[in-house]
A and B are shown apart, each in its own frame.
Chain A
Amino acid sequence: MSKQRVVVVGNGMVGHKYIETLLESDLRDQFEITTFSEEPRVAYDRVHLSSYFENGDADSLALTTLAFYQDNGVKVHLGDKVVGIDLEAKQLTSEKGETIGYDKLVLATGSYPFVPPIEGNDRDNCFVYRTIEDLEAMTAAAKDAKVGVVVGGGLLGLEAAKAVKDMGLQAHVVEFAPRLMAVQVDEGGGALLQSKIEELGVGVHTSKATSKIVAGEDCLHRMEFADGEHLETDMILFSAGIRPQDELARSSGLTVGPRGGIEINNQCLTSDPDVYAIGECALWNNRIFGLVAPGYQMAKIAAGHLVEEIAQSGELHSFTGADMSTKLKLMGVDVASIGDAHGTTPGANVYTYFDQPSQVYKKIVVDDKNEKLLGAVLIGDAEDYGTLLQYMLNGIHLPEFPDTLILPQRGDDTQTGLGVAALPETAQICSCHDVSKGDIRAAMDAGCCSVGDVKTETKAATGCGGCAALLTNLVNHELEERGVEVNHDLCEHFPYTRQEIYHLVRVGNIKSFAELLEKHGTGHGCEICKPAVGSIMASCWNEYVLKDEHIGLQDTNDIYLGNMQKDGTYSIVPRVAGGEITADKLIVLGEVAKEYGLYTKITGGQRIDLFGAQLHELPLIWKQLVDAGFETGHAYGKSLRTVKSCVGSTWCRYGVDDSVGLAIEVEDRYKGLRSPHKIKFAVSGCTRECAEAQCKDVGIIATENGWNMYVCGNGGMKPRHADLFATDLDKATLIKYIDRFLMFYIRTADRLQRTSVWFDNLEGGMDYLKDVIINDSLGLGEELEAEMASNIDTYQCEWATTLEDPEKLKRFSHFINSDATDSEVVFVEERGQIRPANETEKSELIAKAS
């Protein structure tokens, strides 16, 4: 049989999923796949389009690459729109003049943004929000704009408003209906949402019909409303809904619905038996599905249908509709809507819970017998989403008093949340990738034994992420069920986790590794447990790390108080708190570097690193530095590294507070603090964030009313944006929270776990962390502060201490029995400084010398 020519029109999210599914099938060699895309690039993640504003990086949105397609024999026509289909001849033509034939045609043309027919809607700087090119155009226009208006207060409109605000514009939302997100939420929820969004500084104008857009006086445009009012703006973004892109289907004679959409049956076939339609352009049962998950389902069903037809397996999968429940974070506000959110089912009963002080609104809709959940709305706190969704989707019998599902759980209330055990095998856990509880159990039967494994294997929780919490619960539950005891032991010498060892040390007042080993361990220890215990002891008792009983625990860098380089030499990093340094100190660094011929470099941590010092030179160099007023920078320790700062209000015309002053103060406060991994801070003087505080373990940003505190950010291998922890704090409260936060991290983290990873594994997430730190829910606050105070009181510069101890200094020579130096350390010159010689250079130099 010759190959089936499959042509996919539209390389959006769903078109790509279809191709991917065909390529995964056993019969992939039977297909010759071609795809056309009107857009200039291959499929990307439209769902996370807004993140383009955060990183300006279109590539990070890519779902695939041209190379992937090429490697798999898929022909791709980019930037070429299909303009006609001849259903009789089974061939199509494109704008660029291609004519190609097909055996099977798949329409995945998506939808286009609806622009209301308002006079003036075609003026300059009027945009829609659908493609990367739209966002690029918006970004360019925003440069000269002050005000931006979004027309439409639905899901997408609010997302767009956030983008407008993040671009530094004054943002407004104009909505025709009397409330925001009219489709998903009810009146009560809409009102709360509106007040929350206004609090964030976005103007909300509901019940407003725009009659025309004309030239403005202060801004580029003036929007005139039917009620006689007006609003001036430099930029307008239409987000008033989407319409299925069915023009091509319509013109070729395929059946389309009265209000648009290409009609399909349960196998996603259109009125022509060789043409499928999938995704947002398809109309099933008179419904359009404007979400990606149903589109993915259609892609799988359509691909499956074709494979079945060829394999003649007789199996027939059907599309049976999709749930349109959604959960998302809009401008930092949790919003979720499930099923019949408006309670329109006859006989439905409604329970609402409204906590005005905390700005939380929850509503459930139940059937007339109080037995089944029909729908729900959650605003401000959507943690119950997963549970409620499962109640609805699986028709699980409600508890006797259904309102307990949304009432806050306090103190000794019995747990009413739905245990994952209650879910049937068919329960869909991840709707984006259609993964059921059964699929997850099967993956675990086949050997997956962590959330990470299951994610990789099933793709669950890798789409919108809304199901992550539920997935984690399920995986943990299943692990327990299987009696899998996940081994968290530190190493073969200690049958305890790091957290347990921390407790043993603190509670047992244990002061040395030998004592700990004798009481709780076996053997002699290794390079895992020794540094971990060394770090714990230092966090608890803060003794000199080179004390006899601790010295053998220190890893590569700590044991010589310097960072070992590839050739066995060391680097020297004095502390430059906040990055502020006097001219005199700069000169000292220069002089020392010159005297010892060291390589100098400005680090990414706003200080100066001197490289190429040999062991015996370390004390000599440090002596000069300490005499000049420098201290160790702990660049070698799992401890506080740097507190970066921006110049702040002292000099900068935008600064609202003294970021340098605060950076120096916190760096001095926490310097020397040993922790499970390194800790980095930054302090910015205003929201422009020149110190990049939002990628630090602790980030601090000045506001008009105090300081905003961010936590658990990370640069490095796996960057993580920090989360906003508390806002507008006075300095005393800020310091108190940081004290508690750091000590809580030190107590509970795993070894070598940065705050970011620790947080991602912290059960209860941000709410829990805030509860512990701000509300002191564990009653630990004072204890944590006292532990921090003791650390601060016992601070010492390890280099100053070492320089005073002749016994310790003995260790700083390459040979214990000779003053000779290491002949293998050879430098060559590059750009006016030294660098380690490479192997060839070394052998040449050594040959020359001998």
Chain B
Amino acid sequence: MTQATNWTPVCALTDIAPNTGVCALVNGQQVALFRLADSEAVYAIGNYDPAGKANVLSRGLIADLDGVLSVASPLYKQHYCLKSGNCQEDETLSVPTYEVRLNEGQIEVAA
């Protein structure tokens, strides 16, 4: 990788309650960020739910299905994998995923 990644700081890790998500606006895109309980693991995927057709994924429940972490859409409960963005119920659907890192307690997203 030669190209420098364009990191945008969005919020502090502690701005996200453990086991929940928030939505950030990064370069005009809606990014859903999820924080696992008491860990520093943060995931970033698109906020738009292609099944429910609304910007709501950040408000879904985090679910661990057979070890795969996903978010259950708050609208109709489709699961989107937090790592791949793939929809478990409908393989024709997926959401974008974004790189995310912690920098001195601040979350930064590449989008």
What residues make up the interface of A, taking CB atoms closer than 8 Å to B?
492-493, 514, 523-527, 530-531, 548, 551-556, 559-560, 564, 566-568, 810-811, 814-818, 820, 822, 824, 839
A815 touches B69 (CB 8 A): no
Provide the bound-state CA to CA distance between A527 and B25, in Å: 26
Provide the bound-state CA to CA distance between A178 and B67, in Å: 74
| CB-nearest residue of chain B to A615 | B59
Give the contacting residue for A524; candidates B10, B56, B62, B77; CB below 8 A.
B62
B15 touches A552 (CB 8 A): no
A556 touches B17 (CB 8 A): no
Provide the bound-state CA to CA distance between A556 and B74, in Å: 5
B20 touches A818 (CB 8 A): no
B18 touches A816 (CB 8 A): no
Provide the bound-state CA to CA distance between A559 and B52, in Å: 18
A760 → B minimal CB distance (Å): 26
| B23 contacts partner chain A, Cβ-Cβ < 8 Å | yes
**A residues in contact with B23, CB < 8 Å:** 814-816
B17 touches A811 (CB 8 A): yes
Give the contacting residue for A564; candidates B16, B48, B59; CB below 8 A.
B59
A185 → B minimal CB distance (Å): 55
**B residues in contact with A567, CB < 8 Å:** 54
Interface 0/1 of B1-44, CB less than 8 Å to A: 00000000011000111111011110000100100111000000
A530 touches B61 (CB 8 A): yes
Give the contacting residue for A566; candidates B54, B60, B67; CB below 8 A.
B54
12 contacts between A and B (CB under 8 A): A514-B38, A523-B64, A524-B69, A526-B61, A531-B61, A552-B19, A552-B20, A559-B59, A564-B59, A816-B10, A817-B25, A818-B25
**B residues in contact with A553, CB < 8 Å:** 19, 61
**A residues in contact with B66, CB < 8 Å:** 492
**B residues in contact with A816, CB < 8 Å:** 10-11, 15-16, 22-24, 33
**B residues in contact with A564, CB < 8 Å:** 56, 59, 74-75
**A residues in contact with B22, CB < 8 Å:** 811, 816
**A residues in contact with B36, CB < 8 Å:** 524
Give the contacting residue for B55; candidates A523, A552, A556, A822; CB below 8 A.
A822
**B residues in contact with A810, CB < 8 Å:** 15
Provide the bound-state CA to CA distance between A816 and B10, in Å: 8
A493 touches B19 (CB 8 A): no
**B residues in contact with A555, CB < 8 Å:** 61, 74
B64 touches A566 (CB 8 A): no
* Complex A-B, nearest 9 residue pairs according to Cβ-Cβ distance, in ascending order: A552-B19, A524-B64, A556-B74, A526-B63, A527-B72, A568-B54, A816-B22, A527-B61, A818-B25
Provide the bound-state CA to CA distance between A802 and B15, in Å: 16
**A residues in contact with B56, CB < 8 Å:** 564, 568
Find the residue from B17, B60, B62, B72 having the highest chain A CB count within 10 A. B17
A824 touches B20 (CB 8 A): no
Give the contacting residue for A560; candidates B15, B16, B18, B59; CB below 8 A.
B59
Provide the bound-state CA to CA distance between A526 and B64, in Å: 5
Provide the bound-state CA to CA distance between A566 and B51, in Å: 11
| B93 contacts partner chain A, Cβ-Cβ < 8 Å | no
Provide the bound-state CA to CA distance between A815 and B18, in Å: 17
| CB-nearest residue of chain A to B16 | A816
Known: A814-B55, A816-B22; 13 extra A-B contacts, CB below 8 A, are A492-B66, A514-B37, A526-B72, A552-B18, A552-B37, A555-B74, A559-B20, A566-B54, A568-B55, A811-B22, A815-B25, A816-B10, A820-B25
Provide the bound-state CA to CA distance between A553 and B19, in Å: 8
**B residues in contact with A524, CB < 8 Å:** 36-37, 62-64, 69
| CB-nearest residue of chain A to B18 | A552
Provide the bound-state CA to CA distance between A392 and B94, in Å: 64
B97 → A minimal CB distance (Å): 18
A566 touches B11 (CB 8 A): no
Give the contacting residue for B17; candidates A531, A552, A820; CB below 8 A.
A552
A526 touches B25 (CB 8 A): no
A551 touches B19 (CB 8 A): yes
B67 touches A523 (CB 8 A): yes
B10 touches A527 (CB 8 A): no
Known: A523-B64, A525-B63, A564-B74. A548 touches B55 (CB 8 A): no
A526 touches B65 (CB 8 A): yes
A493 touches B25 (CB 8 A): no
A458 → B minimal CB distance (Å): 33
Provide the bound-state CA to CA distance between A561 and B48, in Å: 21
Give the contacting residue for A824; candidates B25, B55, B67; CB below 8 A.
B55
Give the contacting residue for B20; candidates A514, A527, A551, A568; CB below 8 A.
A551
| CB-nearest residue of chain B to A492 | B66
Find the residue from B15, B18, B48, B74 having the highest chain A CB count within 10 A. B74
A527 touches B77 (CB 8 A): yes
**A residues in contact with B64, CB < 8 Å:** 493, 523-526
Provide the bound-state CA to CA distance between A629 and B53, in Å: 36
Interface 0/1 of B63-102, CB less than 8 Å to A: 1111101001011010000000000000000000000000
| CB-nearest residue of chain B to A554 | B61
Find the residue from A525, A548, A568, A811 having the highest chain B CB count within 10 A. A568
Provide the bound-state CA to CA distance between A525 and B18, in Å: 13
Give the contacting residue for B24; candidates A525, A566, A817; CB below 8 A.
A817
**B residues in contact with A552, CB < 8 Å:** 17-20, 37, 61-62
Provide the bound-state CA to CA distance between A810 and B11, in Å: 12
Provide the bound-state CA to CA distance between A144 and B10, in Å: 75
| CB-nearest residue of chain B to A493 | B64
A548 touches B18 (CB 8 A): yes
**A residues in contact with B38, CB < 8 Å:** 514
**A residues in contact with B33, CB < 8 Å:** 816
| CB-nearest residue of chain A to B11 | A816
B74 → A minimal CB distance (Å): 4
A817 touches B77 (CB 8 A): no
Provide the bound-state CA to CA distance between A818 and B30, in Å: 11
**B residues in contact with A566, CB < 8 Å:** 52, 54, 75
Find the residue from A526, A811, A818 having the highest chain B CB count within 10 A. A526
Known: A551-B17, A552-B37. A817 touches B63 (CB 8 A): no
**A residues in contact with B61, CB < 8 Å:** 526-527, 530-531, 552-556
**A residues in contact with B60, CB < 8 Å:** 527, 556
**A residues in contact with B17, CB < 8 Å:** 548, 551-552, 811
Provide the bound-state CA to CA distance between A566 and B56, in Å: 10
**B residues in contact with A559, CB < 8 Å:** 20, 59
B96 → A minimal CB distance (Å): 16
Provide the bound-state CA to CA distance between A817 and B33, in Å: 12
Provide the bound-state CA to CA distance between A560 and B23, in Å: 14
| CB-nearest residue of chain B to A531 | B61
Provide the bound-state CA to CA distance between A754 and B54, in Å: 30
**A residues in contact with B54, CB < 8 Å:** 566-568, 824
**B residues in contact with A493, CB < 8 Å:** 64
A690 → B minimal CB distance (Å): 36
**A residues in contact with B25, CB < 8 Å:** 815, 817-818, 820
A817 touches B11 (CB 8 A): yes
B34 → A minimal CB distance (Å): 10
A635 → B minimal CB distance (Å): 16
**B residues in contact with A560, CB < 8 Å:** 59
Provide the bound-state CA to CA distance between A549 and B54, in Å: 28
A617 → B minimal CB distance (Å): 15
Provide the bound-state CA to CA distance between A552 and B38, in Å: 12
**B residues in contact with A818, CB < 8 Å:** 24-25
Provide the bound-state CA to CA distance between A514 and B37, in Å: 9
**A residues in contact with B48, CB < 8 Å:** 824
**B residues in contact with A551, CB < 8 Å:** 17, 19-20
Find the residue from A531, A552, A560, A810 having the highest chain B CB count within 10 A. A552
Provide the bound-state CA to CA distance between A527 and B16, in Å: 19
Provide the bound-state CA to CA distance between A839 and B18, in Å: 35
Provide the bound-state CA to CA distance between A814 and B52, in Å: 17
B47 → A minimal CB distance (Å): 9
Known: A524-B36, A531-B61. A815 touches B24 (CB 8 A): yes
A824 → B minimal CB distance (Å): 5
Known: A524-B36, A551-B20. A817 touches B59 (CB 8 A): no
